[in-house]
């Protein structure tokens, strides 16, 4: 079973700053099936990025994804107030789906 | 627009079973697989399994294999998730989510989610 480890657990930043969130896989994976989701308190997750770098429909261009192999990154270029929440990476390995444990982006 | 509407909150005793429904609308139900994901209070997301709404054998996550059953009813565009032998650690919000498909779509990510169903297991 592939394990996804997200870091940091909590990221403290100010509005307007750049956020860099990491997702590391326990073994090399296909970037085609790496996704990122955002979850606000009391809400279902929302898809941000699929295929490691493609933005989902309606997602602002301040969100971008990159990476390959075992290391993937979600970047938020300029944090807006509504961006301070939880983020999860997600992987499909051909038979199962796995989530990382999440990164919380909080206001500094 | 695509909507996944789930059944309401449930309170169950340990050892009982719970069945949660997820009714789809706004798209062709049989064209997209559906997942179930759960989230314990204050915790992360846990994938439970996936099913083809037209039938066939679902694929279940290893942790819940043997206690979870996923079914569908194409006549009502509804999928169901039944979890048996409930324990306190099964207390969670349960979500259904649509798989957007493989190559040419969004690569098996989850593009639409239900609103969630809180299942509380307590004696």
Q: What is the pLDDT of residues B68-86, one digit of tens each?
A: 999 999 999 999 999 999 9
Give the pLDDT band (50/70/90) at residue B1: very high
Rounded CA gap, B95 and A90, in Å?
Answer: 15
Answer yes or no: is pLDDT of B92 > 90. Answer: yes
- Beta carbons of A96 and B100 less than 8 Å apart: no
Chain A CB contacts of B106 below 8 Å: 35, 47, 50-51, 54, 56
Report the residue of B110, B111, B116, B118 to disrupt the A interface, i.e. the one with the largest count of A CBs within 10 Å. Answer: B110
Within 10 Å of residue B65's Cβ, how many Cβ atoms? 11
Q: What is the pLDDT of residues A42-78, one digit of tens each?
A: 999 999 999 999 999 999 999 999 999 999 999 999 9
Kindly report the backbone phi and psi dihedral angles of residue A32, in degrees, each rounded to the nearest multiple of 5, phi listed first.
-60, -25
Size of interface A-B (CB pairs under 8 A): 68
Q: How high is the pLDDT of residue B55?
A: 87
Q: State chain A's mean pLDDT as an integer.
A: 97
Rounded CA gap, A45 and A62, in Å?
Answer: 18
Q: How high is the pLDDT of residue A9?
A: 97
Rounded CA gap, B59 and B74, in Å?
Answer: 19
Q: What is the pLDDT of residues A8-43, one digit of tens each?
A: 999 999 999 999 999 999 999 988 899 999 999 999
- Beta carbons of A50 and B106 less than 8 Å apart: yes
Percent of chain B past pLDDT 90, that is, above it, reads 89
Give the pLDDT band (50/70/90) at residue A104: very high
Rounded CA gap, B37 and B40, in Å?
Answer: 10
Q: Which residues contact residue A75 at a Cβ distance below 8 angstroms, ignoring those fewer than 6 apart?
A: A18, A19, A20, A21, A63, A64, A65, A66
Q: How high is the pLDDT of residue B103?
A: 66
Q: Name the nearest CA neighbour of A74 among A8, A15, A12.
A: A8
Rounded CA gap, A22 and A71, in Å?
Answer: 7
Q: How high is the pLDDT of residue B40?
A: 98
Instruction: Tell me which residues of chain A have a C-beta less than 8 Å from any C-beta of chain B.
Output: 1, 32-33, 35, 37, 39, 44-47, 50-51, 54, 56-57, 88, 90, 92, 95-102
Q: What is the pLDDT of residues B13-60, one digit of tens each?
A: 999 999 999 999 999 999 999 999 999 999 999 999 999 999 889 999
Chain B CB contacts of A44 below 8 Å: 95, 97, 113-116
Coil, strand or helix: which one is B75? coil
Q: How high is the pLDDT of residue B107?
A: 86
- Beta carbons of A95 and B113 less than 8 Å apart: no
CA-nearest residue to A87 within chain B is B44
Answer yes or no: is pLDDT of B65 > 90. Answer: no
Rounded CA gap, A66 and A73, in Å?
Answer: 5
């Amino acid at each position: 079973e592939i394990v996804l480890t997200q870091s940091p657990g909590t990221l403290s930043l100010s509005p307007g700053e750049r956020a860099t969130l990491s997702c590391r896989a326990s073994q090399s994976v296909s970037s085609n099936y790496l996704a990122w989701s955002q979850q606000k308190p009391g809400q279902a997750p929302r898809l941000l990025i699929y295929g490691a770098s493609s933005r989902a429909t309606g997602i602002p261009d301040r969100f971008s994804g990159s990476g390959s192999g075992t290391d993937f990154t979600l970047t938020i270029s300029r944090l807006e107030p509504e961006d301070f929440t939880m983020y999860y990476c997600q992987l499909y390995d051909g038979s199962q789906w796995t989530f990382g444990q999440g990164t919380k982006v909080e206001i500094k | 627009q695509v909507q996944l509407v789930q059944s309401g909150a449930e309170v169950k005793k340990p050892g009982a079973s719970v069945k949660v429904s997820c009714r789809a609308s706004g798209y062709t139900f049989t064209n997209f697989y559906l997942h179930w994901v759960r989230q314990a209070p204050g915790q992360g997301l846990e994938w439970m399994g996936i099913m083809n709404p037209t039938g066939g054998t679902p694929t279940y996550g290893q942790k819940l294999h043997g206690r979870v059953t996923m079914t569908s009813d194409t006549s009502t565009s509804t999928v169901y998730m039944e979890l048996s032998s409930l324990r306190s650690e099964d207390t969670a919000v349960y979500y259904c989510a649509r798989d957007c498909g493989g190559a040419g779509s969004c690569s098996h990510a989850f593009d639409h989610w239900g609103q969630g169903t809180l299942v509380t297991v307590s004696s």
